[in-house]
Structure 1
Amino acid sequence: MASINTEDIEIVDKKDQDSTSIEEYAPELLIKHPLQHTWTLWYYETDRTRAWDECQKEVISFNTAEDFWSLYNHIKSPSELKSGCDYSMFKQGIRPMWEDDANKNGGKWVLQLDKKQRLSDLDNFWLEIVLCMIGEAFHEHSDDVCGAVASVRPKGDRIGIWTADFNKSQAVLDIGRKLKERLKIQPKQTIGYQVHRDTMVKAGSVTKNTYSV
């Protein structure tokens, strides 16, 4: 890296410089807006030579609205990821895997998208879900939300929003209803909630829905 000649730093005539100091900006322009929780972005990319958990990479954590938008505006959208990759957004300290203590008794609301929806819906749905989570849009049930995963796959993409305890039926159903409302999913179209425990022991390719809205 080339060195900087400190003698060249002061070549600008001070009369031509912007005289506004940082102290003169309005305070509201300098204060970041804290979130209720710290959130962590994870990235998964398939690698058959490595164990599944080794393919999960913790990218960055944030705890203000401004830091979220800075992150969001500098990474690829889910639709730009390679097939076989995931984005996960979870509360700090929770890993995006069933076995994590915060997830092991829970499950997820699942949105199955066909291939044509990758361009029309995947990115919008993902952003709306993340904003719901970090903005505490699930109100009294926000503490039950662990995180969300966007999975890009050849046969159709998938988004799941994970909750901590599948036995808390009222919380789970309220979260599902709020999800449908925010994503503007038609009332006649149902989405299902799958328990992680059922997913782990399933015999075929389809996991039964414990709840539907």
Structure 2
Amino acid sequence: MAAADNGASPSGSGYDDNDDDLIDPQASSSPDDGDRLSTDHEINSSFKSIPDDDLKSDGIPLDTPWTFWLDKSVPGASVAEYKHCLKKIYTVTTVQSFWRVFNNIPDVSLLSSRYSYHLMRNQRRPVWEDEINCQGGNWNFKCKKSDTAFVWKELLLALIGEQLVECMAQGDEIGGLSCSIRNKADVFQIWNVRSDLEEKSTIVEKVKSLLPEVNFWSVHYKTFQTHEAFEGHKVAG
């Protein structure tokens, strides 16, 4: 399934909330928690409508379309339940349409705990079990909340600018990027389609070189099919 009772995100982040115990709350708390959008209604009503013509207008084309998604993690949810609450925001095809969407959705720093943003290649969904994702996994980078907005923006630009392509093994591909908001530290996940090629990647080194000022609390890779919450054929971890 897509979520587990151990606190894993239904988007497949594989992030266990118990890891928050390793974080110094003084170092990772956000000074603006009172300004966060705390309910589904507040978040949904904060999305600004963007005319279709604005997204289809001429501009600098991206190598592939990218789609923004939003979800709220519900521990124990099945894949079907997760898909039901997954919200597609917009698909962008140019640099200009990317900025129109980015500037008209709630800033990631305003999302409350257990919400996640995703930017996925083409129109694939942030679902482990989908055919295009199920053989892959993701790199997880945990950071303090004061760094979240900066890391999100910089990694989005690296993604649509295809700056991470050179880090991938032949036959592998970057599938997307997720930012999961948690209680004491937030988690970024970079998705790939071939977990068996993970060790040939230099993604971790690339991310650290792009963000030298950011101190990531932890970094690890997770293969979807080895996670206990994966609904489908599992492999030994």
* Secondary structure of 1:167's aligned partner: helix
Distance 1:200 1:102, change over 3 A: farther
Kindly name which structure, 1 or 2, has the bigger radius of gyration based on alpha carbons. 1
Structure 2 match to 1:65: 95
Q: Indicate whether 1:168 and 2:197 are aligned.
A: yes
Question: Could you tell me which residue of structure 2 aligns to residue 146 of structure 1?
Answer: 175
Q: Is the 8 A contact 1:81 1:152 kept in 2?
A: yes
Q: Does 1:122 align with 2:148?
A: yes
Give the Å deviation of 1:102.
1.5
| Pairing partner for 2:141 from 92, 95, 111 | 111
Unmatched segments (≥5 aa) in structure 1 = 1-29, 203-209
CA distance in 1, matches of 2:216, 2:142: 15
Going from structure 1 to structure 2, the CA distance change for 1:32 and 1:52 (only over 3 Å counts) comes to: same
Q: Secondary structure of the residue that 2:91 maps to in structure 1?
A: strand
Q: Select the residue among 35, 41, 48 that pairs with 2:68.
A: 41
How far is the alpha carbon of 1:164 from its aligned partner? 0.6
Equivalent residue, structure 1, for 2:163: 137
Cα distance change on mapping 1:156 and 1:170 into 2, 3 Å: closer
Structure 1 residue 191 displacement after superposition: 2.0
Aligned residue pairs, count: 169
Distance 1:71 1:108 in 2: 25
User: Once structures 1 and 2 are overlaid, which stretch shifts more, 149-158 or 182-191?
Assistant: 182-191
- TM-score when normalising by structure 1: 0.70
1:117-140 Cα offsets, whole Å, 9 max, x none, are 21x210111111111110010234
Normalising by structure 2, we get a TM-score of 0.63
Give the Cα separation in 2 of the matches to 1:169 and 1:191: 13
Q: Which structure would you say has the larger RCO, counting Cα contacts within 8 Å and 6 or more residues apart?
A: 2
What's the CA shift for 1:59?
0.8
**Which residue of structure 2 lines up, in the alignment, with residue 12 of structure 1?**
none
**Residue 78 of structure 1: aligned partner:** 108
Q: Which amino acid aligns with 2:158?
A: C
* 8 A contact 2:136–2:192 mirrored in 1: yes
Shift of 1:200: 3.3
Over residues 137-195 of structure 1, what are the superposed CA-to-partner deviations in whole Å (9 max), with x where a residue is unaligned? 02343961000111111242111011110111355x22222112112167997621111
The 1:187–1:44 alpha-carbon spacing in structure 2 relative to 1, beyond 3 Å, is: closer
Backbone CA RMSD of aligned residues: 2.8
